[in-house]
């Protein structure tokens, strides 16, 4: 991220938070690089207002949280948060704590759009809260993580001790919180603190890939899915079953794209969509037939290396794998893979 585009007329960001929106992805970056993006009291209010604004902004389909420069966030700012808050009166303190909690987990845990933490460097202490609160996390392999609180004479406070137990094993959480030992992005991925770690020069591209895949989905269903998974975690089996039944009904009832209905119709009646990603016969006169997906998956131009399912019937021995755009359940822009075989003399008679 650069901070070249910090000025957004009438937007709440622009100082400690910068936002760049491109192709449906809102890149939200903490912009305190001189302090390695340590989080101040002031930042909390700006970030909270930013998240609220992007919630309503239709140009934001997926939100990526990152940091300007080479740091994701060096945790709570020892000067501009801890020391600053120490000097405040109880009412002011309460406001800061509330705003900080609201952005770091209140908004993010329940954000109505998919969120990805793109960890580009240091990630310490309080930064674990927004890290875990984001739905997904992708780290640079050489990013450095540290639960350093023990070295500062404090416990992992805020809500850090709680969020650790959400994604880390008890042993890992205790080990790293009690020793304060640092670990890198690879280790974070091994421990499932992040989804994956990639070389730093691939970090942004990989994040874009994941974000694009989320953007292709039905937003209403993605939203309900993440809520369902997060909520079910703290419910009993009986409560989950009842809650999920109601959540499913709610999703179906409120889905403006009528995804379930369309999906069933396309698969069962029109035979125009297969969820495993192949197209089904009879769609085009030139002949689209299905066979298991080739590996590696074809690009638009790649020639299909698999024998045609029509070979021996006087039809094409092989054809060209193409990416086929289907009207997918609930959406019209699904890209799935189909294998379009050249039909011979029985052209159109599949
Ligand atoms: N709070 C306030 N300022 C911080 C900070 C934090 N959490 N983390 C870094 N900074 C500031 C430093 O004070 C320094 O500012 P200065 O140039 O005005 O003196 C600047 O950021 C650069 O940090 P520096 O320590 O010089 O960088 P480094 O590359 O040598 O070390 C770290 C990087 C992350 C290892 C080190 O800054 C650090 O340990 N920070 C504290 C991280 C932490 O434990 N956070 C959790 C707090 S509970």
pLDDT at residue 270, rounded to an integer: 78
75 close to ligand 1 (CB < 6 Angstrom) = yes
Give the confidence band of 306 by pLDDT, cuts at 50, 70, 90.
very low
| pLDDT at residue 116 in the model | 98
Enter the pTM of the model.
Answer: 0.81
Q: Is residue 322's pLDDT more than 90?
A: no
Site to substitute for ligand 1 among 16, 30, 31, 35, most atoms within 8 A of C-beta: 35
- Asked if pLDDT for residue 118 goes beyond 60, the answer is yes
Token representation of residue 104 = 């770091």
The mean-pLDDT minimum among 91-95, 144-148, 307-311 falls in 307-311
The whole-number average pLDDT for the span 312-333 is 38
What CA–CA distance (Å, rounded) separates 339 from 281? 10
From the CB of 156, is ligand 1 less than 6 Å away? no
Question: Residue 75 has what pLDDT?
Answer: 98
φ, ψ at 343 (rounded to 5°): -85, 145
Please state, in angstroms and rounded to a whole number, the distance separating the CA atoms of residues 247 and 257.
Answer: 17
Q: What is the pLDDT of residues 126-144, one digit of tens each?
A: 999 999 999 999 999 999 9
Better-scored residue on pLDDT, 346 or 46: 46
The candidate with the shortest Cα–Cα distance to 67, out of 10, 3, 111, 150, is 3
Residues 6+ apart with CB under 8 A from 187: 145
Residue closest via CA to ligand 1's atom 36 equals 74
For ligand 1, say whether the CB of 36 is within 6 Å of any of its atoms.
yes
Looking at per-residue pLDDT, the higher value among 341 and 216 belongs to 216
In the chain, what is the straight-line distance between the N-terminal and C-terminal CA atoms, in Å?
52
Average pLDDT over residues 70-93: 97
> Which among 16, 31, 32, 38 is the best mutation to test ligand 1's pocket, defined by most ligand atoms within 8 Å of the CB?
38
Q: List C-alpha distances in Å: 143 to 1, 19, 121.
A: 15, 22, 4
Task: With a cut of 80, say whether residue 279 has pLDDT above it.
Answer: no
User: Is residue 334's pLDDT more than 90?
Assistant: no
Tokens of 8: 């957004």
**What pLDDT score does 10 carry?**
85
Q: Is 119 helix (H, G, I), strand (E, B) or coil?
A: strand
29 C-alpha to ligand 1 centroid (Å): 18
Beta carbons within 8 Å of 177's beta carbon, 6+ residues apart = 147, 149, 150, 156, 161, 164
d(Cα 120, Cα 141) in Å, to the nearest integer? 9
Q: Which of 4-18, 171-185, 276-290 has the highest mean pLDDT?
A: 171-185
CA-closest residue to ligand 1 atom 20: 35
Cα of 13 from ligand 1 centre, angstroms: 24
Query: What per-residue confidence (pLDDT) applies to 263?
Result: 83
Q: Which single residue is written with the structure tokens 């094993």?
A: 169
Give the model's confidence band at 264: pLDDT under 50 very low, under 70 low, under 90 confident, else very high: confident
List of residues 6+ apart from 87 with CB closer than 8 A: none
* pLDDT on residue 2: 39
Round the average pLDDT of the chain to a whole number and report it: 82
Residue 274 confidence class, pLDDT cut points 50, 70, 90: low
Angle of helix 90-101 relative to helix 41-56, nearest 10 degrees?
Answer: 40
The CA distance from 227 to 236, in Å, is: 16
Listing from the earlier edge strand, what are the strands of the sheet with 62-67?
A: 17-22, 25-30, 62-67, 115-119, 136-140, 196-198
**If you measure from the C-alpha of residue 180 to the centroid of ligand 1, how many angstroms do you get, rounded to a whole number?**
15
Q: Is the CB of 38 under 6 A from ligand 1?
A: yes
From 71, 74, 155, mutation site for ligand 1 pocket: most ligand atoms within 8 A of C-beta: 74
Percent above pLDDT 90 for the chain: 70
Q: Which atom of ligand 1 is nearest to the CA of 80?
A: 2
Asked if residue 260 lies in contact with residue 248, where contact means CB atoms within 8 angstroms, the answer is no
Q: Which of 336, 308, 333 is nearest to 322 (CA)?
A: 336
Q: Give per-residue pLDDT as tens, 218-239.
A: 999 999 999 999 999 999 999 9
Instruction: Return the structure tokens found at 146.
Output: 């540290």
| CA 157 – CA 170 distance, rounded (Å) | 17
Closest residue by CA, ligand 1 atom 21: 35
């Amino acid at each position: 991220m650069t901070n070249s585009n910090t000025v957004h007329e009438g937007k709440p960001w622009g100082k400690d938070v910068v936002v760049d929106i491109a192709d449906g992805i809102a890149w939200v970056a903490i912009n305190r690089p001189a302090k390695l993006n340590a989080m101040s009291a002031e930042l909390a209010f700006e970030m909270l207002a930013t998240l609220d604004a992007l919630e309503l902004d239709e140009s934001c389909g997926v939100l990526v949280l990152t940091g300007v420069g080479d740091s994701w966030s060096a945790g709570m700012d020892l000067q501009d948060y801890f020391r600053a808050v120490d000097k405040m009166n109880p009412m002011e303190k309460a406001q800061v704590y509330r705003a900080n909690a609201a952005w770091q987990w209140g908004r993010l845990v329940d954000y109505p759009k998919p969120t990805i933490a793109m960890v580009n460097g240091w990630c310490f202490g309080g930064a674990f809260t927004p890290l875990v609160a984001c739905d997904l996390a992708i780290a640079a392999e050489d990013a450095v993580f540290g639960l350093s609180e023990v070295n500062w004479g404090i416990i992992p406070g805020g809500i850090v001790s709680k969020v650790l137990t959400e994604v880390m094993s008890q042993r890992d959480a205790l080990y790293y919180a009690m020793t304060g030992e640092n670990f890198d992005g690879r280790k974070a991925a091994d421990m499932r603190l992040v989804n994956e770690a990639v070389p730093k020069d691939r970090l942004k591209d990989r994040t874009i890939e994941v974000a694009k895949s989320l953007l292709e989905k039905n937003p209403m269903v993605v939203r309900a899915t993440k809520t369902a998974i997060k909520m079910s975690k703290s419910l009993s089996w009986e409560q989950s079953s009842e809650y999920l039944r109601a959540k499913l009904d709610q999703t179906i009832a409120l889905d403006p794209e009528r995804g379930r209905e369309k999906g069933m119709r396309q698969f069962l009646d029109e035979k125009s969509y297969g969820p495993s990603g192949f197209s089904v016969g009879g769609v085009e006169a030139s002949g689209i037939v299905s066979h298991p997906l080739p590996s590696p998956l074809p690009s638009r131009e790649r020639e299909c290396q698999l024998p045609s399912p029509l070979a021996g019937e006087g039809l094409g021995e092989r054809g060209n794998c193409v990416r086929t755009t289907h009207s997918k359940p609930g959406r019209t822009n699904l890209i799935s893979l189909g294998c379009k075989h050249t039909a011979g003399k029985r052209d159109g008679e599949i």
